Structure 1
């Protein structure tokens, strides 16, 4: 619900010394509500319409804020699920690595354990470097 309002006035003539003078006045307005001059005209045509337009703008803003809050809550929940899934997967890989160590498959067991630990630790180092560059 964005409105644009532009008004341009031009006048030309000659000044006292006979030089041609041109006066240009431009006005531009942009916003979620109509220009105040237009709002007055709406009110003159339909009494009470200015209040209805303001109420409509307030409801739209409230709706937009509610949607943004819902999106933020869903993003937080999604990140939490991702962290839980990653932790569970890393734990499972470490358990499998420990099992391989127990049954004398030491190379494969150490590989799984070290690989999963590296995947857990790596984002902290890369994230720290990205924050220092900003």
Structure 2
């Protein structure tokens, strides 16, 4: 809404309030008192609540409408919570397993590369042996540093 429309609406509201106030002031005192009491008695009630289960007052109202409604809602929330926890445990366990297997396979490959380099050096292929050893070492260091920076970035995003 543009500023000019907001200003005109505000002026219109102020004019209406002013007119109503003048009208009430012209009335006898007992009518004024009754109008004021009526205005005070009228109010809008708004309630917000956030969470896995409804507000206790709503649970009570569910019980009034549905037999054992609150108990059924609580049972459903408990089942959902248990299901979510089970899924999270499975994800964490799978991530741990994958991480462990990655370390094991990387270690086996590194060991094979070192053994291959030693074999080449032992068979008088010094340049190839050292080249294999240094090349593999650089690759492993690069992968380690890249994964470390990715982990740090993920950690910062979670904070």
Alignment TM-score > 0.5, same fold: yes
Aligned residues: 117
The structure 2 residue matched to 1:101, chosen from 98, 121, 125, is 121
Please give the TM-score of this superposition, normalised by the length of structure 2.
Answer: 0.59
Shift of 1:88: 0.6
Bigger fraction of residues in strand: 1
The structure 2 residue matched to 1:72, chosen from 92, 95, 101, is 92
RMSD over equivalenced CA pairs, Å: 3.2
Please give the alpha-carbon distance, in whole angstroms, between the structure 1 residues aligned to 2:45 and 2:57.
16
Structure 1 residue ranges without an equivalent (≥5): 1-11
Aligned to 1:85: 105
Deviations 1:77-118, CA, capped at 9 Å, x for gaps: 100000011001111111111111122111110111223334
Say yes or no: does 1:115 pair with 2:135: yes
Aligned to 1:27: 47
Aligned to 1:61: 81
Bigger fraction of residues in helix: 2
The structure 1 residue matched to 2:63, chosen from 30, 40, 43, is 43
Larger radius of gyration: 2
Please give the alpha-carbon distance, in whole angstroms, between the structure 2 residues aligned to 1:64 and 1:37.
26
